Structure 1
Amino acid sequence: MALAAISADAKITITNTNCNYQKGLAVCTGDIRLGWQMQSDVNDDKQTAYQILVTENVTGKKVYNSKKKKSEESQFITIPKLKQNRHGYLWKVRVWDKDGKPSEWSREQQIRIQTKSYPDHSNKGNHSPLHRGWVGGGASFIGAITKSAAKLPEGRFSNAEFKKDYFKEKWNPVDTLSSKSIILRKEFSNGGKKITDAIVYISGMGHYEMHINGKKVGDSEFAPLWSEYSKTIYYNTYDVTDMLSSGDNAISVLLGNGFFNVQRGTRYSKLMTSFGAPQMIMRMDINYSDGTSKSIVSDPTWKYALSPITFNSIYGGESYDARLVQKGFDLPDFNDSAWKNAVAVEGAGGELEPQMAQPVKIMEHFGIKSWQYLPADSVASASAKTKRTVSPHTFVADMGQNLAGFPEITVKGKPGQKITMLVSENLNKQGVCDQRQTGRQHFYEYTIGSDTTETWHPRFSYYGFRYIQVEDAVLEGEPNPYNLPVISKLQSCFVYNSAEEGSSFECSNPLFSQTHRLIERAERSNMQSVMTDCPHREKLGWLEQDHLVGPSLFYNFDMTLYCPKIIRDITDTQKSDGMVPTTAPQYVSFGNLFDDSPEWGSTLVIMPFQYYEQYGDSTLITRNYPAMCRYVDYLTSRSKDGIVSHGLGDWYDVVEGGKSGFCKNTPIPLVATAHYIYDLQLIQRAARMVGNKTDEEKYSALYNN
């Protein structure tokens, strides 16, 4: 009797609703697959049926009703295609438990439908193609200067070319405006009308920070995610209904370089290549209660000015002069008469794609664990060892956690006083930050703009570090005979991709728990827009690590959206002959030896199967099957009698008395051929999955011979 009563009163709840794995606002360009999880406070309960309801956002018009369907399935539930519309859609689901009891409806999730967009190069009279297929069309890429006017060189260049005369000749004529951070702004009025919904689509390259009426839109850092810009440009989608006024409004967009525009300057840089000067494309669609609508698009009617960021480099750091802040620039009624008209620019040629992978964010903060002054008698030697002039007013803070990110300060001083911060994973013998092995010089500068308390962190650069070296400032409460700026708060911001944790691990043996945490911290530090090899010296998407640590990534993190982005980077970077470079996106060429290695390129074949085995989702295999075949065919063309002999092999070998790195202990043909054979095994499975009997027989013959 009691058990029956408990069963009758059982509560079932629907959680983790998602559309194409996206949570929150979902943007879709093709098939729509829905998923959810059922929770019950009774053991051995299960779903026996479900009902999905799709309505039009705002109007509430019913679009699709699955009615009650007997099924235990709760993932990859495909519904009929939805048409692109003004308001988007809302969907919800309810389920029935083993006793036939229905749950409450789940929370609604918003869906926006977008069509694929390709640059319309037929508009030859305009530098910037109007992306007519994109979010309704009409938007242009805009910035301060076109790539042609800036005289930016075409091509990808190795760091080995930096000191070559011909390389300098290519870059010497470049207009310095092309590397400047700018702010674009636009004002508009809603004429007192009531807003029912408003959506904005935006991409700013290399990275952007958008404000509406003085408030930041979203909480991303380094948006959008990096890509092979000549093939794919990601845009972000935000519901901004609650950010708009029925009257006057202002939009501002801060732009930085990122990997879109890497110019060496006077600080550290691993490479130099440019897809163009900072630029953005945007469309905002606003719907009103009277049935009318308005669109705000990026075009030459926008204004621009240089931002307070006086230097920004993904490799070299960032400098900010708060005296250059124009108060109220991101609010309506600002006088921008001194600002210049925006310029329609070329764009990078890539297809505009909604960013579905999770954004990079500030995910954690760490305060000071300990700190110490740099002794006066160490200043000269510290300067000599670090190859820069170290201030005599220096302290070094140990933040207690090695991470990828940047420092954040809260400080008070006098306008014009400048604080310099260096970061590093290690200290040298003099006790200051040692960047010798990780890329120097990388530093941050902040010039105080007022006599009030100010808080700042970099926007467009990051580094791997544990220690923060602060010059020309003191901590609050410390002696200050030189009237230096006073820092009331110093933090390190841990920045990484916001893909959720998928598991946790804890053990009675502290060594195992700490080892797991150490690995997790390292993986998080390198989960940026791509899986980087390191968060400082290179920051490149070297591919072999993706499949080698694939099991760890899939067990520890939600890779449902992040992994497809990795594969998209690979297929975008794949060469016409099928070769897959060792890095994707390939922002730099290191030459044939480092560009082409089977252990790296095989990620295109191996990782989709890891994804399939983890999630039961074969789409990465079926959608990328042609690209996978092209790579296996490429390896076949490089083989002789079934043996593949090129590449880096079993990197990274430690050789006593010799140069470590290159494969010494294991023959390169053995390692390369092992990957080729594994690829052949997998591609046969893929051929069976797509129903291509001819390919299956072809690759089976290669494998057996």
Structure 2
Amino acid sequence: MTTPFAAAGAEWIWVPAFDDAAFPAQFVSLRRTFQLDQVPEQDVLLHVSADTRYRLYLNGQSISFGPCKSYAARWNYETVNITPYLTKGLNTLAARVLRFSSSHPGCFSMVRTALPGIKTDASWKAKLDVGVRMADESEWDYRLGPSFLNLNERADGELLDRGYAQPEFDDSAWAAAIVIRATGKMSPMLDPRRLTPRQIPSLSEDAAKFDGVVTSSGPNTSEEWTSLILEGKSLSLASNSTHTVDIEVKALTTGFLDFACQFDGDIQARPEIEFLCSECYEPAFEMGQPRRKGDRTDFRNGTLYGPVDIYKPHVGLNQYSPFWFRTFRYIRITIKTGTEPLDVSKFSYRSTYYPLNVATTIQTSSPLINNLWDISLNTIKNCLHETYEDCPFYEQSQFSMDSRSQILFTYLLSRDDRLARKTMHEFYASRRDDGLIETHYPNPARCINIPTFSLFWVLMVYDHMVHFGDERLVKEYLGAIDGVLNYFDRRITELGLVGQFDGDCWAFVDWIDGWISPGKGFLGMAVPPAYYKTGSATFHSLIYAYTLLKASELCKFVGRNDTAKEYIDRQQSIVQAVRGQCFDESTGLFLDGPKAAGQFSQHVQTFAVLSGCLETNDAARELMSKTISRHEEYSMAKASFAMGFYLFRAASEAGIYEESWPTLIQPWQKMISQNLTTWAESESSVRSDCHAWSATPLYEIGTEILGVKQRSKEYLKRLGKEGTEIMVAPRRALVEDISGSVLVGDEENDLVSIKWGKGSDMRVETSKGQEVSVIVR
């Protein structure tokens, strides 16, 4: 019996004569056959990794997809028990590897090193896959903005090595794989990748069907297309015909597409099949024109925009699945047949997400609350894969500001903090020599940095302390937290405010109409004009002060009381400077910058409250009342969906949450009326229809309406906080009836249940009889 993998240590192998710089991305196929006298009774564990991505098959079955996204110093490998897939006799391991070149920008979502390869031994055979190429950047529709993913395919079935994952495939013409090393003889150099086990579970791949046909054109009816996708009934397309069909799922999703067809005609008359994935219908627009989305389901007056995969079938049975998952609510299939007919037998998908075990649930007769919860949950789910993602459709990048909110949302749903831990460590590993972390990471290139996003990483660590009370985790990151805060301390001006950042930094605050500074290009977008006009943006000082408050608690938690005091002293100095330099006596509001007459924003007022800039509760209440209900009167820049999370927090802290709820929730009500099934990125930057930083309503329902605050015992004990671990302060005035079970402990079944109905008393129960502190509002 031979072993299916290297017994004496694996090597990185690859196809011979590979030109890594020839294209931004290329596919390579690899095979390894072996004989078994009998199937082992014990588990046979296989460890596998590749640069950049792989899918591994054993005897034709997909058994692993990876490696999990990370960075070179923590390059992941997967471990698979292959015993269930082994057979007596001939067996075949096969891999398909997508390699992104280190010489090209390529996909901004995936890290790669200078060397391609898959980790095994040199007994494999390898071949460059010329049947599929990635769409060139010139083929991207730049009306949609920059091209970040570059993952769409142009596939020619006739050039594919069909069946190469099966044992009976003839690979005699394939070349022997070669070993690729980063080291030389007697060299102390190491492999650029430091291998580490995958830290999170594998993504789901669950068989799913589309929900229906929106519209179709061509000889075949919509009913015939519907029978194909719902019942699997084969569909015959006549020769010399053109077919366009729009297919939908009820709610935006992420999944791997699976398409099958039979073509028995002349190779010279092959059809061409296009798959366009889109988030919504929207009015037509041209390059340079603003996008204006309304009813996302309005197919009569809207069109579909999105990236396109193209497949040309070979003679015989075709089964085509793009390598990477797609994001879609609608898919437009366009098929142009040649002089021969085409039979389509399958079009479905495999939904894919991070397998988060959602334990928190709600039930209510309120349509609004139900919609807010369901849409938020679907948004979060679609932005959870191997990292927290800003948006699955356009970027699939892990940003620290986005991730801070997303992590808090998932803490409300599940005690699974593995992805959160992975995220915190990845940002920690991205530290720059000036103390900042990278704005989005992992990524394959040095990018523009948003300094305030480093503060959101500090808040991530704080949130984990509150929810889990893990001393070791806090200690691991405190040094880097000091570095982040010191970066801002070094930028304090003679006015006592945070000044301007370095030239490679973006002073981003929020996507707001009117926040653009002429002549500054990209760096002038989403930045309060006061930043360039006065040399300082009040928001930067206030969010720094807010983070200092939280960092002080982190230090107290591990006994660094002197540093905790230092951070409070810094916070006090900042808020005093803001009061003195940025407060407008005539309106009672804080300006966007020192002496920035008439420039106000909800962002600054919000963080004035959160950072402790107001000296009395009455002052905070008055300020937030103006901010929320009278912002138009003062021409305040309005907070976007992402910053709305903090606006809700300030309203709660100021004691005006219930009276502010109808106004604060309006943007989400508008999205519901526009038939979104996930929350959009922004009102002013109309791009992504699925952006998890906008899933704030889920958090509001759990922590404010049901009123459950999650706090670990260790956090309460070490910081001397008053009250019990479980604090419940529901807001009955906001919903007539509701029942919910919310996570509160260290295990998935540690729940507190709250229930009330019209005219009935409120009931609060815990799954394990824990002590509960209930505040009746």
Is TM more than 0.5 here?
yes
Question: Paired residue for 2:614?
Answer: none
Question: Paired residue for 1:279?
Answer: 117
Question: Paired residue for 1:123?
Answer: none
Question: For the aligned residues, what is the CA RMSD?
Answer: 3.9
2:97 partner SS: strand
**Inter-partner Cα distance in structure 2 for 1:464 and 1:216:** 21
Shift of 1:261: 5.7
**Inter-partner Cα distance in structure 2 for 1:198 and 1:617:** 35
Question: Paired residue for 2:210?
Answer: 367
Moved more, 684-693 or 462-471: 684-693
**Inter-partner Cα distance in structure 1 for 2:384 and 2:447:** 23
Could you tell me which of 361, 368, 374 is aligned with 1:504? 361
| 8 Å CA contact 2:407, 2:420 repeated in 1 | no
| 8 Å CA contact 2:53, 2:99 repeated in 1 | yes
Say yes or no: does 1:652 pair with 2:511: yes
Say yes or no: does 1:673 pair with 2:544: no
1:337 partner SS: coil
Whichever residue aligns with residue 117 of structure 2, its letter is: Q
Question: Paired residue for 2:327?
Answer: 464
Could you tell me which of 442, 447, 456 is aligned with 2:307? 442
Give the direction of change, closer, same or farther, for the CA distance of 1:658–1:375 in structure 2 (3 Å limit).
farther
Question: Paired residue for 1:407?
Answer: 257
Give the direction of change, closer, same or farther, for the CA distance of 1:319–1:493 in structure 2 (3 Å limit).
farther
**Inter-partner Cα distance in structure 1 for 2:326 and 2:30:** 27
Q: How big is each residue's C-alpha offset from its partner over 1:636-695, in whole Å with a ceiling of 9 and x where there is no partner?
A: 223336532345353122339999951338876322222322332233333333344554
Say yes or no: does 1:422 pair with 2:276: yes
Question: Paired residue for 1:569?
Answer: 426
1:161-560 equivalence runs, <5 A: 174-176=21-23, 179-192=25-38, 194-218=40-64, 220=65, 223-229=66-72, 231-245=73-87, 247-257=89-99, 263=104, 275-276=113-114, 278-281=116-119, 298-307=120-129, 310-312=132-134, 314-326=149-161, 329-332=164-167, 334-346=169-181, 349-363=192-206, 365-374=208-217, 392-414=242-264, 416-427=270-281, 442-452=307-317, 454-460=318-324, 462-472=325-335, 483-560=340-417
Question: Paired residue for 2:15?
Answer: 144
Question: Paired residue for 2:667?
Answer: none
Give the direction of change, closer, same or farther, for the CA distance of 1:662–1:616 in structure 2 (3 Å limit).
same
Q: How big is each residue's C-alpha offset from its partner over 1:303-350, in whole Å with a ceiling of 9 and x where there is no partner?
A: 101337512474241233333454553344644221112232357713
**Inter-partner Cα distance in structure 2 for 1:469 and 1:262:** 34
2:511 partner SS: coil
Whichever residue aligns with residue 122 of structure 2, its letter is: P
| 8 Å CA contact 1:407, 1:457 repeated in 2 | yes
Q: How big is each residue's C-alpha offset from its partner over 1:170-227, in whole Å with a ceiling of 9 and x where there is no partner?
A: xxxx334x73211112223345584423111111232211112222214x5xx22222
Give the direction of change, closer, same or farther, for the CA distance of 1:533–1:589 in structure 2 (3 Å limit).
same
**Inter-partner Cα distance in structure 2 for 1:429 and 1:649:** 29
Q: How big is each residue's C-alpha offset from its partner over 1:96-154, in whole Å with a ceiling of 9 and x where there is no partner?
A: xxxxxxxxxxxxxxxxxxxxxxxxxxxxxxxxxxxxxx9987212222268xx73x6xx
**Inter-partner Cα distance in structure 2 for 1:665 and 1:418:** 50
Give the direction of change, closer, same or farther, for the CA distance of 1:615–1:482 in structure 2 (3 Å limit).
farther
Give the direction of change, closer, same or farther, for the CA distance of 1:609–1:459 in structure 2 (3 Å limit).
same
2:205 partner SS: strand
Shift of 1:634: 2.3
Q: How big is each residue's C-alpha offset from its partner over 1:518-572, in whole Å with a ceiling of 9 and x where there is no partner?
A: 2222222221222222223222222211223443222134541110111122012
**Inter-partner Cα distance in structure 1 for 2:108 and 2:77:** 26
Give the direction of change, closer, same or farther, for the CA distance of 1:570–1:264 in structure 2 (3 Å limit).
closer
Provide the TM-score with structure 2 as the length reference: 0.57
**Inter-partner Cα distance in structure 2 for 1:315 and 1:352:** 26
Shift of 1:273: 8.3
Whichever residue aligns with residue 356 of structure 2, its letter is: A
**Inter-partner Cα distance in structure 1 for 2:491 and 2:315:** 64
Deviation >6 Å, runs of 4+: 134-137, 269-273, 435-441, 656-660, 665-668
Moved more, 134-143 or 414-423: 134-143
Whichever residue aligns with residue 655 of structure 1, its letter is: G
**Inter-partner Cα distance in structure 1 for 2:75 and 2:290:** 34
Give the direction of change, closer, same or farther, for the CA distance of 1:520–1:257 in structure 2 (3 Å limit).
farther
**Inter-partner Cα distance in structure 2 for 1:440 and 1:372:** 16
**Inter-partner Cα distance in structure 2 for 1:250 and 1:549:** 41
1:217 partner SS: strand
**Inter-partner Cα distance in structure 2 for 1:625 and 1:644:** 22
| 8 Å CA contact 2:37, 2:89 repeated in 1 | yes
**Inter-partner Cα distance in structure 2 for 1:324 and 1:578:** 50
**Inter-partner Cα distance in structure 1 for 2:570 and 2:498:** 13
Provide the TM-score with structure 1 as the length reference: 0.62
Whichever residue aligns with residue 596 of structure 1, its letter is: I
**Inter-partner Cα distance in structure 2 for 1:213 and 1:406:** 21
2:328 partner SS: strand
**Inter-partner Cα distance in structure 2 for 1:362 and 1:335:** 29
Give the direction of change, closer, same or farther, for the CA distance of 1:664–1:374 in structure 2 (3 Å limit).
farther
Whichever residue aligns with residue 352 of structure 1, its letter is: L
Structure 2: state its 5+ residue gaps. Answer: 136-148, 183-190, 220-240, 294-303, 519-523, 574-777
1:638 partner SS: coil
Whichever residue aligns with residue 22 of structure 2, its letter is: D
Sequence identity of aligned pairs in percent? 17
1:602 partner SS: helix
**Inter-partner Cα distance in structure 2 for 1:572 and 1:370:** 46
Say yes or no: does 1:608 pair with 2:461: yes
Give the direction of change, closer, same or farther, for the CA distance of 1:457–1:518 in structure 2 (3 Å limit).
same
**Inter-partner Cα distance in structure 2 for 1:588 and 1:457:** 29
| 8 Å CA contact 1:209, 1:216 repeated in 2 | yes
Paired positions, count: 496
**Inter-partner Cα distance in structure 2 for 1:469 and 1:610:** 42
Give the direction of change, closer, same or farther, for the CA distance of 1:662–1:507 in structure 2 (3 Å limit).
same
Give the direction of change, closer, same or farther, for the CA distance of 1:489–1:622 in structure 2 (3 Å limit).
same
1:532 partner SS: coil
Shift of 1:575: 1.0
**Inter-partner Cα distance in structure 2 for 1:498 and 1:257:** 26
Give 1 or 2: higher strand fraction.
1
Shift of 1:466: 1.6
| 8 Å CA contact 1:649, 1:669 repeated in 2 | no
**Inter-partner Cα distance in structure 1 for 2:530 and 2:370:** 33
**Inter-partner Cα distance in structure 2 for 1:501 and 1:135:** 40
Whichever residue aligns with residue 528 of structure 2, its letter is: K
| 8 Å CA contact 1:649, 1:671 repeated in 2 | no
Q: How big is each residue's C-alpha offset from its partner over 1:368-427, in whole Å with a ceiling of 9 and x where there is no partner?
A: 422323589xxxxxxxxxxxxxx9532222333222335332323336433111111234
Give the direction of change, closer, same or farther, for the CA distance of 1:553–1:639 in structure 2 (3 Å limit).
farther
Could you tell me which of 551, 558, 567 is aligned with 1:690? 558
Give the direction of change, closer, same or farther, for the CA distance of 1:487–1:371 in structure 2 (3 Å limit).
farther
Structure 1: state its 5+ residue gaps. Answer: 1-133, 153-173, 282-297, 377-390, 474-479
Give the direction of change, closer, same or farther, for the CA distance of 1:489–1:211 in structure 2 (3 Å limit).
closer
| 8 Å CA contact 1:235, 1:354 repeated in 2 | yes
**Inter-partner Cα distance in structure 1 for 2:110 and 2:36:** 44
Give the direction of change, closer, same or farther, for the CA distance of 1:538–1:688 in structure 2 (3 Å limit).
same
Give the direction of change, closer, same or farther, for the CA distance of 1:576–1:145 in structure 2 (3 Å limit).
farther
Give the direction of change, closer, same or farther, for the CA distance of 1:691–1:349 in structure 2 (3 Å limit).
farther
